Every structure is written in structure tokens, then in C-alpha cells.
Amino acid sequence: MSGFFKSSIGRKVSMALSAFFLMFFLLQHLSINILSVLSPETFNEVSHFMGTNPLVQFVLQPVLIFAVVFHFVMGFVLELRNSSARKISYAKNNGAGNSTWMSRNMIWSGITILAFIGLHFIDFWFPEINTKFIQGDWSGTMEGIQGFRYHEELVHKFINPARVAAYVVAFVLLGLHLAHGFTSAFQSMGGTAGRKKTLQTIGKVYSIIIPAGFIFIALYHHFKH
């Protein structure tokens, strides 16, 4: 079995498996974040549950970090191998004549998402680690704020228009990444035969809803503030 994951197809399958996990994560992330618009109290309660539940914190969070790191590292490894498979480029190449921009530029949309994850770590993850694991404060509260702190922190993040602009750009690129990645993951798993059109439709809907939802949340809080 280890030989399988060293093969070109095995590597693609491992990319697809990590992609499935990340796509499921995005869906649940959006479902929780949209609560910040619909019901701040529910958002606070769900956020506190996610931020303090041992299963989420000590099992799912490490799996998520592994999946993110693996997906990026394997993406770069495959890109390097693919580049070395053509040492001399064509003088004239009409890539747009036979494939989509998204499919040819997964590495660039991926690098943009990586940069966004860097920003997201600075904004959210590092402060959370500091509060919970270094200061040992698992209360979910903050001085000067009644109840849980999560909604207030989220709203505060979207005051800065530069951050909102970065969110919009990153999520547009995420949408393009997903527009190809969704069906591509199923194809790598050998699953599109006979169901291609259905998967393409679901992929299109998914790759629009996910970024549009996150962009809506950022713009909503920015302009409501």
C-alpha cells in the first residue's frame, strides 16, 4: 500500500483525500460563520463549543492542520515534478484553447490561499493559541464584553478595509481553486464516470456558495459597523 502512495496516481489520490477533508471543513466553517450574521448569540455559543471541546481541539484541529500542510506540501511537490517533465517550453502554446484558466493555475490560486491562511493564522489562530494554551484562559470571555468574546472579535476584524479587501481577493481565488478542484478530486478518486455532469453542477454551486458566503460575511460586518 505504501508503494501506491509513492506512485503518481497515489499522490493524486492523497491530494484528493486531503481536498475532500478541507472541502468539508470549509462547509462547516461557513455554516458557523454565517451565524455571526443570523444570530450573534448562537454564533458565540457554537464558537465557544468549537473552541473548548476536547474532541475538536485535540483531535480534529491537529487533523485539520495536518491536512492543510499536507495539501500544500504535496501540491508543491507535484508542481515541481510536473515542471521537470517538460524541460523546454513551447515557443507558442494555446492553453486557453483546450483547458480552463482555473485548471492551469491551481498553483497560483493555491499560493494566494496559502498567503491568506498566513493572515488568518495571525488574525485568529495565534491569538487563540496564546489565550487558551499560554495564558490558560478557556473562559471565552474578555474584559469589557458581556458574555462570550467571539462575535465582538470577529466584528472588530472587519473594520479595516484592507483586511476586507484581502478577504475578498483570497476568496475569489479560493472559488477559482474549488471550481476546478472539486470535480478534479472526484476524477482523481476514479469517481466521475457516468456522474460527470452531476458532479460538475454540484462543484459549480459549491465553488460559488463557499467564497460568496465568506465574502458576504466580511462585507456585512464591515458596512454594518
Partner 1 sequence: MNLTLKIWRQVDANDKGKMVDYKVTEISESMSFLEMMDVLNEQLVNAGDQPVAFDHDCREGICGMCSMYINGEAHGPDRGVTTCQLHMRMFKDGDTITIEPWRAAAFPVIKDLVVNRSAFDRIQHAGGYISVNTSGNTQDANSIPISKHAADQAMDAATCIGCGACVATCKNSSAMLFVGAKVSQYALLPQGQIEAADRVQNMVAQMDLEGFGNCTNTGACEVECPKGISLDNIARMNRELMKANI
Q: Give the interface with partner 1 as residue ranges (CB under 8 A).
A: 1, 3-4, 7-13, 78, 81-82, 84-95, 97-100, 103-104, 106, 180, 183-184, 187-193, 196
Neighbours of 121 (CB within 10 A): 13
Integer CA distances (angstroms), 33 to 7, 78, 89, 129, 148, in order: 39, 33, 44, 19, 15
Q: How far is CA 115 from CA 76, 106, 120, in A?
A: 14, 14, 9
Q: Which is nearer to partner 1, 92 or 225 (CB)?
A: 92
- Residue number with CB closer to partner 1 (87 or 224): 87
Residue 180 contacts residue 15 (beta carbons within 8 Å):
no
Residue in the block written with cell 500500500: 1
Nearer to partner 1, 9 or 165 (CB): 9
Angle 111-115-117 from CA coordinates, rounded to 5° = 110
Please give the DSSP secondary-structure letter assigned to residue 96: G
The rounded distance, in Å, linking the Cα atoms of 155 and 44 is 12
91: alpha, beta or left? (left if phi > 0; alpha if psi -120 to 50): alpha
Q: Which is nearer to partner 1, 147 or 191 (CB)?
A: 191
CB closer to partner 1, 141 vs 192: 192
Nearer to partner 1, 57 or 105 (CB): 105
